[in-house]
Amino acid sequence: MKLIFVKTVHLKMSINGYKKFKSIFVILGILGTIFLPKISYAYPVYAQNAYQNPREATGRLVCANCHLAQKPVEIEVPQAVLPDTVFEAVVSVPYDTSVRQISGSGTKSPLNVGSVLVLPEGFTLAPKNRLSDEIKAKTKGVFVQPYSKERPNILVVGPIAGDVKGKLRDIVFPVLSPDPAQNKDVNFLNYPVYVGGNRGRGQVYPTGEKSNNNAYTSTVAGQITSIAPGEKKNTLDITIASENGDVTQTISNFLTPVVKVNDIVKADQPLTENPNVGGFGQEETEIVLQNPSRVKNMIVFFASVTLTQILLVLKKKQFEKVQAAEMNF
């Protein structure tokens, strides 16, 4: 009996200890969710947490709310696709690989790119078991994901490390076309396709706060009395003598100041160069979901036209031979 009691006590202590550990783990998980930044909170997938739909009623993609500079982007899709077919949507994001951006920590880092692809309803990310070896090779190392469970027709990628081989980054989206025979909401029509592509970090967070990827501006009007290394690593302290006393602003020393000692500055006047070297671009195109029976009918039509023309040529030659024979006779 004593042995059974001891085992029971140890079992209860183990269960209680497990419950306490589980409670602590859950609390830490909740705190981490609230206070720690998520990887998905960066670049194009920022929108996943802030917007139900990345395309506004005006047609503008919400990425432009954070990436204020305009840059080009290109999209290439097949002119027409058949139902239940895997095809490539290639998004080209041009940028200069020699340019470096300001990272979140204030240091210089290579540019990275991302993209959002808004497909017609019914078009989705192609499953891995449907991908050819060629498409697998093109998409290796690139993680493409749906925007949300409610919007599987919208695909996002990013951030992707910059391509060191050239000045153009091609992002390949493997897409599966819908089958109207299986999905009654889809028809054989001409559909629009929208794409957005960004390179580099944004200037504004979805919360409305500015990132450090902006020019530092003066908070007060006055005269600059000092520009010296800051107490923190990789920083500069700019001291401005204002009417209400000295004001010291700390900036990253990776930014080039555009002011010097004894300069008179106004409030909101830039103190540094604009570090933004990236930007966002938006483009659109069209794709046709082609009916296979129409393709067959078209092939039959062209074949019949070609055959008719051949017969007419042969008939004409036969008539010319008969006419020539009659003339000789």
Residue 54 lies in a domain: yes
pLDDT at 50 over 90: no
Does residue 121 sit in the same domain as residue 259?
no
Same domain as 196, residue 139? yes
Residue 99: burial class (beta carbons within 10 Å; 0-12, 13-18, 19+): middle
pLDDT band of 312, cuts 50, 70, 90: confident
H-helix or E-strand spanning residue 192: strand 190-199
Q: Are residues 285 and 297 in the same domain?
A: no
pLDDT of residue 325: 67
Total domain count for the chain?
A: 4
* pLDDT score of 179 more than 50: yes
Which CATH number belongs to the domain containing residue 92 in this structure?
2.60.40.830
pTM: 0.73
Residues 186 and 44 in one domain: yes
Same domain, 197 and 228: no
Under a CB-based contact definition with an 8 Å cutoff, are residues 80 and 89 in contact?
A: no
One domain, residues 115 and 164: yes
Does 102 reside within a domain?
yes
Give every strand in the sheet of 168-176, ordered side by side.
74-76, 86-94, 168-176, 124-125
| Domain shared by 168 and 232, yes or no | no
Are both 25 and 106 inside the same structural domain? no
Mean pLDDT of all residues belonging to the chain: 81
Indicate if 281 and 299 belong to the same structural domain: no
pLDDT in tens, 147-172: 999 999 999 997 887 765 556 678 99
Host domain of residue 18: 2-36
DSSP labels for 236-296? EEEEEEETTEEEEEEEETTSPBS--TT-EE-TT-B-B------EEEEEEEEEEE--HHHHH
Q: Give the pLDDT of residue 328.
A: 65
In a domain, 96, yes or no: yes
In a domain, 146, yes or no: yes
Inside any domain, residue 217: no
Do residues 159 and 135 both lie within one domain? yes
Is residue 34 pLDDT above 70, yes or no?
no
Query: Is the same domain home to 71 and 202?
Result: yes
Same domain, 53 and 165: yes
Render pLDDT for 270-296 as a digit per residue (tens, 0 to 9).
Answer: 999 999 999 999 999 999 999 887 666
Q: How would DSSP label each residue in 66-133?
A: T--SB---EEE--SEE-TT-EEEEEEEEE--TT-EEE-TTSSEEE-EEEEEEEPPTT-EEPPGGG--H
Whether 257 is covered by a domain: the verdict is yes
The reply to whether 161 falls in a domain is yes
Higher pLDDT among residues 71 and 36, named by residue? 71
131 pLDDT more than 70: yes
Distances, alpha carbon 71 to alpha carbons 51, 108, 117, 212, in Å? 22, 21, 16, 20
The position carrying tokens 């951006």 is 101
Average pLDDT, integer, range 289-309 = 77
Q: Residue 299: pLDDT band by 50, 70, 90 thresholds?
A: confident
pLDDT of 86 higher than 70: yes
Give the pLDDT of residue 220: 94
At 208, the pLDDT band (50, 70, 90 cuts) reads confident
